[in-house]
Structure 1
């Protein structure tokens, strides 16, 4: 393989970036080398010290230099960064420090920082300036510890709104962190919480204007990057609070397979153990052989997590009580419980080494830590138990586990982004809860807490409901496919059944499709998770990250970007006459392809759209390249040898696919990227799949790519590396076919070396007809709905007669697949027949006027 000079530069650049990223991503063991800034970045003026961390981030300290505290705080874990270019000078007793983006001024020998002697302005925006004591007016908020007991943004009992914490981002254009009295971490082998030092002030100031992405990146440089999640996390999680037994879980998994529901994570709630709330001993009535059960989960490619409520400490009834007491050198004569104490290092070491490690070694992959008790530690009142449990559980796994550390718990406060997945708690099953979650989830990215996991479908029944509302649950599951973690869950209530086989076909099919679509998008999602690790930009992010200067980005809070190339506007209200209406803002700057209706829409407008239960508002950037898996994948244990490249109409596009082993700790240096580019000029389209660059364990050496060009007409010629591919409707490798229902050209490439480039060149007979991306896919669907309604017999027609033009129009999609060479002839025939369908329906004597009008409305 020949590597070009440009490719070499890209490789070198990524290596430098990764080195910097990994330097600031230590999850434990914050060393002095990492925490002490480069002396070249430090300016000392008496008791005042300024440390230039980036060109828009500065640390400000005041106090006797001997008292400065360079240990890690709970928030700041890195200060040794490349020194940015800056200059200093003194003028009229004022000290000036200037970088490319900020200018700081401090009056020399004027004492402790205040609004009269210190000021900072952002050079890229005249309106952004700051003085000590200045308050933000337009903070864009962060997140909240839990949604327990919430019905939307309201507490179900008090009816008070959630007050989200302030985040890093604000329309004021700056962020201020007072780290003066924050708890610190010592320099032991397992850094432990300790009190702060003596300096009077320890501040951090970050100016960014409306460049929100740069703010998150710079904050992550000092607060640590969001660690990579294992790939399996992005699959489907089955969870339910239920007294499952070994037999019942085996039957559940068998049924999931029978209904073709891929599953990666099995969540087992608190009944796995004995003695109620807190416990660490398996309930042998439900799991007579825990090791055998966990061996079965591994054989079925399931990752297992168990629920923990550690507040009651270690009880005398626990299997490992005596070993734990001996480790703690406690008095065993009274057989008293050993109280829980998170800040006690000996207790926590014993909890992991004596109690939890044997369970992990038997096959538990990670813990669901469900802390719901007192907020702060009894010995260190300033220490949040939630924050500290996140730290201890995650870092213990990092030190002792062979795979990537992972934790599933609640938000504990700033800095907790280093400990990954949030469990949002027990929400009510309501449309209001569904409507609030998209905003809540994307806004959490403002504090880098990018991986919230919600109880999809809600947790608790609201009011007099007798069970799951099928439409609400289906819409929630569709949203779940475009949330960070796709996990269904509910409380212990026999009336709440979320298994797909409990629903009729009207809802079971879209539920199945939602889970399948999630799995299809994992290569795209996983690439975005790498970007989260490197930049701090979340998978689900507010619109203003990308469109800060467009006022609508701050108004339409229910919609969000899903990675770089998809805009999602969830359905959060019930349907009327079979369709749910949503109002969506499409930002200017590019056009958007409404995937499930096949409609290319102009950016820069607010429109109202309607969707049947099996459709979802997914807007893909025009020209986007989206890597996908096919519908055969059942779990995410490994990278499959088959990969699909989805290409969307309306512009040119490119994508750099990221892949690694999926669960090892070597992702910093062992990974591969594959660049994919698409260009279209006139009647010719070219797709280039560049050689994979890099290597990782178990990397596929050869691959079968399928290139899917959505929203396109049939081709006149398809060339692969200069050789012609033939039309073959049987979907054989080395051929192409046409999916008329989705107006999608499918090109099936033969088995190929991943390190060798491939080029696909597609020629068309004419410039594409605008009808192809004007909702023709949706028209086909609605014609099928009308035909099914007429054949049902419910309206008196009894399926005896399907009007001629309806039949012709409804079957056009199939003809396009059979005979793509006749594409334009069939399209012309369709347009003629489609216009006549309303009159045909009006002429049906077996239908009443209400039914006729209802069917005709489907065509509008």
Structure 2
């Protein structure tokens, strides 16, 4: 009887106690198959953990890569027959020869059961088609080439990612570092002996499923605060408080939105009173934590001012030199560490020392955070690995400790801004890609680099938009405005929009210092970024839920099409937007871009107003103010209006953009913006659009969910892009009147973008709304064949002629009639089709007349 009780406790009850202890690293016993010196854990139908340990001391601690094994148990069968163990799920079948020890090709085999992509794997099979991951930094990179004076050039090698065209990935965590179970979980080394701790992932070409599975056992990608998706102003410059205020006043003067002020390393002192600068006038050290009072005489007042402007601040840290005697915190720090201050030496950096790091946070960093800094920019550029723990990567560890400290000690969302440290680092965003060179090669490479980073879930790269510095040996010291425009346009459609540059007066990145078409293009790019924030933020929530990054390679959605791999710079920007970034200078005033538009739907080329068929490759042309942005036909895209200059709060006005060509739907995501309750406290609003028999129905469903501080009403503005002039518009069965001048109660039409705007003022978010738009069934015209670009081209040609002839140019009749089409359709909606057809018939003639070389002004003498 006693033996049976002990059996019940240790075999049945004890595993359940361990399972219910709250340690998510311990798998549900129902998912575990243990036979002698091997243990298998079925994590998902496609993922299985495989352990061999001759001492049977299997690892249940969290590792740096794997933090959760307590997952819902998939259905699987366990069969032992003929000395073999077989584990079968719906997706894979594992076979192991029992009592044969270490995993090898002789005793272990896994079959992937998907009929389309079936394969057999054993430990001797080598992966051949890894789709790559990312790299620690782009410091000193000209595209993919590392260049540094007096050092050999070499090509950048990206780390392997967790996705491969082979259809499987093996993660070998056998020697990976672990976490202990303390309150502030700390690094723990594995026992110094040979074990096998593998995670096999089978997914065929279902890359999104693989990413989702990885988040289940390796952790989710945290949702950043909403302000992160605004514009970051950053420059390596010894800004003072006054100068920072001057910069922000220029943003306000030119109505340029801004959310983050990045203060580089000059905010703090770096030498003692007796240290002398080097021969170039530069300081000797980078580390510092004591405010430079010559630049910031009262940091508290600086932070108060920044917050009054709805700005978030981040300060740069280079912590490698430890705590120097000149630091204001030196004595307190030394006392906590029992360090002898009589030596007048630096307290050395000890990243793996828990007491040192706790003291760093408590004595040095928390007081500055209480002054008002919102998050830290870590800039570790020194030794790669910790001096006490050989395998501990300093970048990875700093990211973890800073992120974890913020999560434990504030109610704000933890946020870190640093370089990539290795697999598992996706849990600690945002990435800082380093000091890349200012070249077209670098701009051309960054989209691919950002795309592949999503293969390790490190989707929030922040690049130095515009590049950091010139190549030392090139003797090029003139900043190319066209390159900068194209870089900012890409930045607006990348994870983070942050302009930055070296301490070089020739690097001009202030938008207001550009003129004419360059200013317009830069301004419009930043405005587009803010316009798209509700869409971007919804996609960021999707990243949290699924592991699929905002900027993702084409093969996530089109894995069976070879072009998804060859068009490696092209990417999906969320679910509904495709971007084909420009990475080369214009020729004859235009950029030729070869783009692949996948089959399955049509695509709306936003900047030209052209609806293009999917399933084709084509070359498209773009002026400096245009960019290759393609929206899925019928897509519903939530947006902000031009009144939004900060993402500090949820604005009351919500624009709902609906694009032409098909039916569509979208669930708009909202939350409080910067709290840690977002996992459970959020709201969504579903919008659908249907077009049938020339009647379009847009339905806004009642909002679902709740978060603190949310608006109970909104001012909706529904915009139909690429739409003909409606014959009637109704809201919840009531007719809405037409107006030429937009207002809050009537619908209007913008002929410049062929866009219908329908306002719903003070809408109750708990109610549903239906808009019915009826179009003329007898007269149908196509306004999505590039007319928007044609109108812009004609307007520009006329303006150039007037300039050439000092304003005395008389516009020919056909040219004038064509050029005013966008306004005439608004003024006289009943004759919409007539004006459009006239334009289509006479546009080419109007352009030829306008551009005729021998044209002479009648006023010329």
Superposition TM-score tier, normalisation by shorter sequence:
over 0.9
Cross-structure match for 1:258: 253
CA contact (8 A) 1:660 1:696 kept: yes
Cross-structure match for 2:190: 196
Question: SS of the counterpart of 2:747?
Answer: strand
- 1:10-29 mapped onto 2 (5 Å cutoff): none
CA contact (8 A) 1:407 1:421 kept: yes
Residue 821 of structure 1 deviates from its aligned partner by 2.4
Cross-structure match for 1:289: 298
Residue 843 of structure 1 deviates from its aligned partner by 5.6
Structure 1 residues 200 and 32, CA gap change in structure 2 (3 angstroms) = farther
CA contact (8 A) 1:657 1:673 kept: yes
- 1:343-742 mapped onto 2 (5 Å cutoff): 343-462=352-471, 463-742=474-753
Structure 1 residues 768 and 111, CA gap change in structure 2 (3 angstroms) = farther
- 1:85-164 mapped onto 2 (5 Å cutoff): 85-124=75-114, 125-157=116-148, 158-164=152-158
Question: SS of the counterpart of 2:341?
Answer: coil
CA contact (8 A) 1:168 1:446 kept: yes
Residue 839 of structure 1 deviates from its aligned partner by 4.6
Residue 799 of structure 1 deviates from its aligned partner by 3.9
CA contact (8 A) 2:801 2:850 kept: no
CA contact (8 A) 1:140 1:171 kept: yes
Cross-structure match for 2:238: 243
Q: 1:814, 1:231 → 2: CA distance?
A: 37
Question: SS of the counterpart of 2:665?
Answer: strand
CA contact (8 A) 1:797 1:846 kept: no
- For structure 2, which runs of at least 5 residues remain unmatched after alignment? 1-19, 271-284
Cross-structure match for 1:747: 758
Q: 1:799, 1:191 → 2: CA distance?
A: 76
Q: 1:400, 1:130 → 2: CA distance?
A: 46
Residue 800 of structure 1 deviates from its aligned partner by 2.0
Aligned: 1:49 with 2:44: no
CA contact (8 A) 1:731 1:748 kept: no
Q: 1:800, 1:564 → 2: CA distance?
A: 48
CA contact (8 A) 2:797 2:850 kept: no
CA contact (8 A) 1:309 1:369 kept: yes
Structure 1 residues 542 and 379, CA gap change in structure 2 (3 angstroms) = same
Cross-structure match for 1:229: 224
- TM (norm. structure 1) is 0.93
CA contact (8 A) 1:468 1:498 kept: no
CA contact (8 A) 2:794 2:847 kept: no
CA contact (8 A) 1:183 1:194 kept: yes
When the two structures are aligned, how many residues end up with a matched partner?
817
Residue 331 of structure 1 deviates from its aligned partner by 1.2
Cross-structure match for 1:822: 831
Q: 1:262, 1:840 → 2: CA distance?
A: 41
Residue 797 of structure 1 deviates from its aligned partner by 7.7
Residue 505 of structure 1 deviates from its aligned partner by 1.5
Structure 1 residues 395 and 782, CA gap change in structure 2 (3 angstroms) = same
CA contact (8 A) 2:225 2:413 kept: yes
Question: SS of the counterpart of 2:720?
Answer: strand
Q: 1:87, 1:202 → 2: CA distance?
A: 22
CA contact (8 A) 1:274 1:281 kept: yes
Aligned: 1:175 with 2:169: yes
Cross-structure match for 2:202: 207
Question: SS of the counterpart of 1:515?
Answer: helix
CA contact (8 A) 1:120 1:129 kept: yes
Moved over 6 A (4+): none
- For structure 1, which runs of at least 5 residues remain unmatched after alignment? 1-29, 849-860
Residue 768 of structure 1 deviates from its aligned partner by 7.6
Q: 1:199, 1:81 → 2: CA distance?
A: 27
Q: 1:808, 1:128 → 2: CA distance?
A: 65
CA contact (8 A) 2:797 2:851 kept: no
Structure 1 residues 231 and 31, CA gap change in structure 2 (3 angstroms) = farther
Structure 1 residues 642 and 767, CA gap change in structure 2 (3 angstroms) = farther
Residue 558 of structure 1 deviates from its aligned partner by 1.1
Q: 2:348, 2:826 → 1: CA distance?
A: 69
Aligned-CA RMSD value: 1.5
CA contact (8 A) 2:697 2:773 kept: yes
Partner deviation per Cα, 1:183-214 (whole Å, 9 max, x = no partner): 11111111111111456111110000000000
Cross-structure match for 1:218: 213
Cross-structure match for 2:28: 38
- 1:752-791 mapped onto 2 (5 Å cutoff): 752-766=763-777, 769=780, 771-791=782-802
Q: 2:479, 2:736 → 1: CA distance?
A: 50
CA contact (8 A) 1:683 1:767 kept: no
Partner deviation per Cα, 1:717-756 (whole Å, 9 max, x = no partner): 1010000000012211121110101011111112111010
Residue 815 of structure 1 deviates from its aligned partner by 1.0
CA contact (8 A) 1:713 1:768 kept: no
Cross-structure match for 1:84: 74
Partner deviation per Cα, 1:404-426 (whole Å, 9 max, x = no partner): 00000000000000001100000
Partner deviation per Cα, 1:578-624 (whole Å, 9 max, x = no partner): 11110000111111000110000011110000001111100000110
CA contact (8 A) 1:808 1:833 kept: no
Question: SS of the counterpart of 2:343?
Answer: coil
Cross-structure match for 1:27: none
Cross-structure match for 1:7: none
Structure 1 residues 830 and 342, CA gap change in structure 2 (3 angstroms) = same
Question: SS of the counterpart of 1:226?
Answer: coil
Residue 122 of structure 1 deviates from its aligned partner by 1.0
Which range is displaced more, 735-744 or 455-464?
455-464
Q: 1:460, 1:515 → 2: CA distance?
A: 22
Residue 682 of structure 1 deviates from its aligned partner by 1.8
Cross-structure match for 2:279: none
Cross-structure match for 1:856: none
Residue 402 of structure 1 deviates from its aligned partner by 2.1
Residue 31 of structure 1 deviates from its aligned partner by 7.4
Residue 127 of structure 1 deviates from its aligned partner by 4.0
Partner deviation per Cα, 1:96-147 (whole Å, 9 max, x = no partner): 1110101111112222210011110111145432111321100000000000
CA contact (8 A) 1:733 1:750 kept: yes
Residue 33 of structure 1 deviates from its aligned partner by 2.4
Structure 1 residues 279 and 764, CA gap change in structure 2 (3 angstroms) = same
Q: 1:746, 1:31 → 2: CA distance?
A: 56
Question: SS of the counterpart of 1:752?
Answer: strand
Cross-structure match for 1:340: 349
CA contact (8 A) 1:712 1:768 kept: no
Partner deviation per Cα, 1:157-194 (whole Å, 9 max, x = no partner): 33321100000000000010111111111111111111
Which range is displaced more, 819-828 or 35-44?
819-828
Q: 1:768, 1:159 → 2: CA distance?
A: 64
Q: 1:840, 1:59 → 2: CA distance?
A: 72
Q: 2:751, 2:323 → 1: CA distance?
A: 63
Q: 2:334, 2:445 → 1: CA distance?
A: 46
Question: SS of the counterpart of 1:731?
Answer: coil
Pairing partner for 1:300 from 309, 333, 357: 309
CA contact (8 A) 1:68 1:199 kept: no
